[in-house]
Chains A and B, each alone.
Chain A
Amino acid sequence: MSVARFWRKQQNRYNLIGTRCTTCGKYFYPPRGFCPDCRREGKIVDHQFKGTGKVVTYSIIRSSSGNFKLLTPYVLAIIELDEGTRLTSHLVCDIDQVYIGMPVRRVFRKLGEDGSSGAIFYGTKFVPA
Chain B
Amino acid sequence: MREVAVIGVGCTKFGEKWETSFRNLFVEAGALALEDANLSGEQIDEIFVGNMSAGRFVEQEHIGALIADYAGLATDNIPATRVEAACASGGLSFRQAYTAVASGMSDIVVAAGVEKMTDVGTEVTTDVLAAAADREWEGIAGITFPGLYAMIATEYMHRYGLTREQLAQVAVKNHDNGAKNPNAQFRKPITLDTVISSTLVADPLRLFDCSPVTDGAAAVILAPLERAREFTDTPIKVLGAGQASSTIALHDRKDICTLDATVAAGNRAFQMARVERKDIGFVEVHDCFTIAEICAIEDLGFCKKGEAGKLTEEGQTAIGGKIPINPSGGLKACGHPVGATGVKQVYETVKQLRGDAKGRQIDTEIGMTHNVGGTGATVVCHIFGRV
Contacts and interface: CB of A to CB of B under 8 A. Distances in A.
A binds B: yes
B142 A78 contact: no
Interface string B236-275: 0000000000000111100010000000000000000000
A74 interface: yes
Interface in A74-129: 74, 76-78, 86-90, 100, 111-112, 121, 123
Overall SS of chain A's interface: strand
A65 B123 contact: yes
A4 interface: no
Nearest to A71: B142
Interface string A38-81: 00000000000000000011111111111111010010111000
Interface stretch (B62-70, B91-99, B146-154, B324-332): B146-154
Nearest to B149: A59
Contacts of A1: 140
Chain B at the A interface: SS class: helix
Given A86-B251, A100-B158, A61 B137 contact: no
Interface range on chain B: under 10, 10 to 19, 20 to 34, or 35 or more? 35 or more
A74 B200 CA distance: 13
Contact of A56 (B137, B203, B256): B256
A34 B159 CA distance: 33
A30 B152 CA distance: 20
B1 interface: no
B120 to A, nearest CB: 11
A93 B317 CA distance: 39
B141 interface: yes
A89 B250 CA distance: 12
B202 A58 contact: no
A69 B122 CA distance: 12
A89 B113 CA distance: 34
Contact of B143 (A30, A69, A71, A76): A76
Contacts of A58: 151, 154
B126 A64 contact: yes
A69 B121 CA distance: 14
B3 interface: no
B16 interface: no
B289 to A, nearest CB: 11
B138 interface: yes
B22 to A, nearest CB: 22
Given A76-B141, A78-B250, A88-B249, A65 B126 contact: yes
B251 A59 contact: no
A57 B142 contact: no
Given A56-B256, A57-B151, A59-B202, A30 B137 contact: yes
Interface in B105-136: 123-124, 126-127, 130, 134, 136
Nearest 4 interchain pairs by C-beta: A59-B150, A57-B155, A30-B137, A68-B142
Given A76-B142, A112-B140, 12 more contacts: A9-B136, A30-B137, A30-B249, A57-B154, A58-B154, A60-B202, A60-B203, A61-B144, A65-B130, A68-B142, A78-B256, A88-B251
13 contacts: A57-B152, A59-B147, A59-B203, A63-B144, A63-B202, A65-B127, A65-B144, A66-B127, A68-B142, A87-B137, A88-B138, A100-B154, A121-B140
